[in-house]
Amino acid sequence: MSQPVSLLFGVHAHQPVGNFPSVLIDAHLRCYKPFLQVLYRYPEFRFAVHFSGWLLDYLLLHYPEDMALLREMVARNQVELFGAGDTEPVLAVIPNRDRIGQIETFSTKLAEKLGQRPQGAWLTERVWESTVVPALTDCGIRYVIVDDYHFLCAGKTAAELNGFFTTEEDSRKLDLFPISESLRYRIPFAPADETVAYLESLADLHPSHARTASIYFDDIEKFGIWPETYQWVYEKGWLEQFIQKVLASPKIRTQHYSEYHASEKTRGIVYLPTVSYIEMNEWSLPAPSANAYSDLIQQAKEQGWFEHKKAHLRGGIWKNFFSRYPESNWMHKRMLSLSARLAALPQSLHKPLMLQKLYESQANDAYWHGLFGGLYLPHLRRAVYHALVELEAMLDACSPRPPYFTEDTDLDGIEETYCQNGLLQTVVKRDPYASICELDAYALGHNFGDTLRNQTEHYYRKIQSGGEDSSAHSGDGIASAHDRVSYKHDISAADIVADDHPRSLFVDRLDGLFVHYRNLEPVLENQHYESSNTAHPIRKYITLHDHTLQVMYRFDVKMQSLFCTEINLAMPSCDGMGGRYIHQGHVPCGFGQCLQLKDLIEITLEDDTLGGSIVLKTSASVSFQAQPHFSVSQSESGFEKIMQATTLLLEWPVTAQELIITLEIRRHSALST
């Protein structure tokens, strides 16, 4: 007679560093609170949980009564806590010293706050690279969970994936549990009785001497936050029905991962390839390749061989996001540079806040984009840059940098020139545009160059084909977000046109054509660039004076031409209520509207979220146009338009030999007290 199947049930709860308070409040109300309350009523239902560090801190501070329930469930041995990096980094893309620091920080937090030090760890986005093994094992982690897809890619069969396996790297041993894709797509979307019947069917598949493990570990947000799930899971009682049926079944036994791990033996050695979950194969590829990959998957499904051979249809890896998105790559390489500076700093000069800011800058969400991920969300990128800029200021105070230097930070073969005076910093990309890709204000902890250019995305095909709003149900259950096509906003063809230039500051045009520059040697701290068109020579000088950035243009020959410069500014309020233009004492509109002014000399961009403003001045009157820059992204809620920056266009006829534009960055006095 076969033994009961061991249900290893785990959930992962995460919110990005810097997410809106309203999102956190809603997530707690519709998911975290009701989930814990339901599970608390069933002490015999054992499960595992991973709350990411930043979210756990938030919940402990704002909802201590719910965390008291969790602490009690840990104490009565109902809950097993899982570790990870504290700010939910992708461990494979941060230095090993930071992997160890992140894991240790979070494990210590769990022990101190909830009374249990973890033996298992959650891998962010299930991104597996063997290089993470030493850090995990050195921190006392004995096992991690990854998708069964990872094992299929290593040549294992689905029938073998009923327990844990062992891998090793650099003489360190780590055990690996394969998460069941079948369970991941059933829970909580299929009816409870069907899911329990599936679990019971597993008890008869394997011999009695080896206890079968049915392994589930997935996002807790599927239990209340995904579309329709709150009504399905709580109001219609799916979660309670599932728990009751599991506990009533003689063929199912809930166990902790630690219990199963201690009582069973490894199924053998395995070496997994670099891989994440299967959907990431498509998301991490550039649009043309992603479309080709998607077509192959669809063809395989239609011909009926996908499930048997999907491991051999592999797309991209998570690190492809750095090569896909220059903005992501730039953030990542800036983070690595500051991590190296902090590591080189004498220990006596280290401050706890430095490490905290470094770890915040490593939070994964702002670095990638798929159905989830937050590269397209300005407030998540802003949180990363806020941490980076604050850390850089602290490092500069301990170990000053030169005011001017050049390096290829992002490893793209094009150098960048840094100029900083302790108050502001400009980074100029030394490509033909000679534009500013980063403009940091240290007092505000903000990068005004944190914008995102439009590029073609693989999901644009669904928009272009006129894909209709769909939330088709599967049988008697509900549809997963992966299967939906929905729209939060109306999307037009013009909204998905790729940009033909970087969305940076001071991108110049002459009579509608981009001006291309070549670098000249710096004079003191001036950055001096000269146009490559000798018939219309233009010189461009970029300098800093206290809190003011100055860009000066000199025209050596009188021209019957129109010169235009484009300034893309990342203003935190975006199209919200807190951002506005102020012109001649009046507020003509907010950043989310278009604005045209003639003969402009001065205008202020005031931002409540920023707690500061930018005063733009010109040495001669210009024609001024401002408009919001939107991008189109996808999320579990549907296709949406998100404002990335306000785009300022300054145009003037070349009648004088010189024009000076200044951006003075001011901090509101309320913040300086």
Q: What are the pLDDT digits (tens) for 297-310?
A: 999 999 999 988 99
Determine the 3-state secondary structure of 167 from DSSP: strand
pLDDT band at 373 (very low <50, low <70, confident <90, very high): low
219 classed as catalytic: yes
What contacts 380, CB < 8 A, 6 or more positions away? Answer: 16, 17, 18, 19, 363, 365, 366, 374
| Segment 536-551, tens digit of pLDDT | 789 999 999 999 999 9
Name which residue leads in pLDDT, 519 or 99.
99
Taking the C-alpha atoms of residue 618 and residue 629, their distance in angstroms, rounded to an integer, is 23
What's the DSSP call for residue 31?
I
- Examine the pLDDT at 172 and tell me if it is beyond 50: yes
C-alpha–C-alpha distance, residues 545 and 667, integer Å: 16
Residues 6+ apart with CB under 8 A from 99: 85, 89, 91, 132, 135, 136
Tokens encoding 379: 């407030």
Residue 504 CA to residue 512 CA, distance in Å, equals 17
Residue partners of 220: CB distance under 8 A and separation at least 6 = 11, 12, 13, 31, 32, 35, 49
> No. of H helices and E strands in the chain?
21, 26
Using DSSP, state whether 586 is helix, strand or coil. strand
Give the whole-angstrom CA distance, residue 177 versus residue 162.
9
CATH number of 482-672: 2.70.98.10
CA dist list (Å): 11 to 24, 194, 472, 570: 17, 20, 25, 36
What's the rounded mean pLDDT across residues 500-518? 95
Give the pair of three-digit tokens for residue 302.
């239609």
User: Is pLDDT of 198 > 60?
Assistant: yes
If you average pLDDT over residues 349-372, what whole number do you get? 95
Q: SS in 3 state form for 601-649? A: EEEEEEECCCCEEEEEEEEEEEEEEEEEEEEEEEECCEEEEEEEEEEEE
State pLDDT tens for residues 98-122.
Answer: 999 999 999 999 999 999 999 999 9
Residue 209 has pLDDT above 90, yes or no: no
**Cis status, amide bond into 188, omega within 30 of 0:** yes
Mean pLDDT (the chain) is 92
From the centroid of its chain, how far is CA 89?
9
Per-residue pLDDT band for 204 (boundaries 50, 70, 90) equals confident
Given the residues 80, 86, 125, 218, the one annotated as active site? 125
Long-range contacts of 601-607 (CB under 8 A, 24+ apart): 605/569, 605/571, 605/579, 605/580, 605/581, 605/646, 606/579, 606/580, 606/581, 606/582, 607/571, 607/572, 607/573, 607/578, 607/579
Axis crossing angle, helix 378-398 with helix 326-344, rounded to the nearest 10:
30
The answer for residues whose C-beta is within 8 angstroms of residue 305's C-beta and 6 or more apart is: none
In our burial notation (b when 16+ CB lie closer than 10 A, e otherwise), range 257-295 reads bbbbbeebebbeebebeebbbbebbbbbbbbebbbebbe
247 pLDDT band (50/70/90 cuts)? very high
Q: Count other C-beta atoms under 10 Å from residue 324's C-beta.
A: 23
pLDDT (0 to 100) of residue 670:
54
Q: Is the pLDDT of residue 30 over 80?
A: yes
Amino acid sitting at position 549: L
Contact 120, 82 (CB under 8 A): yes
- For residues 572 and 646, the answer to whether their CB atoms sit within 8 Å is no
Can 175 be counted among the known catalytic residues?
no
592, 628 Cβ separation under 8 angstroms: yes
Residue spans of the domains in the chain: they are: 5-277, 482-672
Domain 5-277 belongs to what topology? 7-stranded beta/alpha barrel (3.20.110)
DSSP conformation class of 206 = S
- The predicted model scores a pTM of 0.93
| Secondary structure (DSSP) of 550-581 | EEEEEESS--S-EEEEEEEE--TTTTSTTEEE
Residues for the chain: how many in total?
673
Which residue in the block uniquely carries the two structure tokens 């095909």?
461
How many percent of the chain have pLDDT more than 90? 83
Of 219, 264, 396, 525, the active-site residue reads 219
Average pLDDT over residues 29-46: 98
